[in-house]
Amino acid sequence: MFQGYTQETVDFMWGIRFNNERGWFLEHKQQYQTQLLEPTRALGEQVYEGVQAMLPREPLMLKTSRIYRDARRLFGRGPYKDHLWFCVRTGDKDWTGRPTFYFEIAPEYYSYGMGFWQAPAELMEAFRRDLQAHPAKFEKLVRGFEKQNIFTLNGDSYARSRGEISDRLRPWFQKKSITLSHELPLDEKIFHPELAEEILENFRMLVPFYKYFAGLCASVTHGHQREEI
């Protein structure tokens, strides 16, 4: 069970940001493993179990990131990340274009929510067609989303109009990708076990969006647009 992060967790993340080289990391590897990696895995396992209970029919998996950067993609950066994340999703290696619950912790913030990232153009076009053909179902989801103050809608948008749609749905309709995120500066909550339950309680609000986008993915995968999602 997740018992909370510690001040050493925060110290390590700031340390690797400003000392991003192998010697420093090796000297502090034990701190990384016990103060950042282990609690993140524990939090991930607890969140995974909770999400699985909310979506018992979904073949979900838990994925925790590595601190090592891909050597082919350093682009002048150090070999280590200064943050860590986990996600809960379906699929194997290809996690893009699938609704995904996530949590991330970095030196100055933590964030969690649900992403629908880097979806293929075909999938986003299917999303827009469905909003135009059957707007009422998604408008109901959006009205509920507008009543809460935890998550915000993020993601790159097209500058030009993609078609006719209601004002309520347009911010969603114009998205290239979608993230429903809650981001906070590091606060006292990260040091307490209750963080896991708070994340799960807030994820419960996103389950209807998960089901919508999972259904959309299934409809495209099976080569037809549903009459109603």
Sequence-distant (≥ 6) Cβ neighbours of residue 213 within 8 angstroms: 98, 99, 116, 178
Q: How high is the pLDDT of residue 76?
A: 63
Token pair of 121, please?
């153009």
Q: Are 200 and 181 in contact (CB under 8 A)?
A: no
CA 143 centroid distance within chain: 22
pLDDT digits (tens, 9 = 90+) for 155-203: 999 988 888 999 999 999 999 999 999 999 999 999 999 999 999 999 9
* Cα 208-211-215 angle, rounded to 5 deg: 145
- pLDDT exceeds 60 at position 218: yes
pLDDT digits (tens, 9 = 90+) for 132-166: 999 999 999 999 999 999 999 999 999 888 889 99
pLDDT digits (tens, 9 = 90+) for 28-66: 999 999 999 999 999 999 999 999 999 999 999 999 999
Sequence-distant (≥ 6) Cβ neighbours of residue 172 within 8 angstroms: 131, 138, 142, 153, 178
DSSP, residue by residue, 116-180: E-S--HHHHHHHHHHHHHSHHHHHHHHHHHHT-SS-EEES-B-SS--S---TTTHHHHTBSSEEE
Q: Of residues 223 and 167, which shows the higher confidence score? A: 167
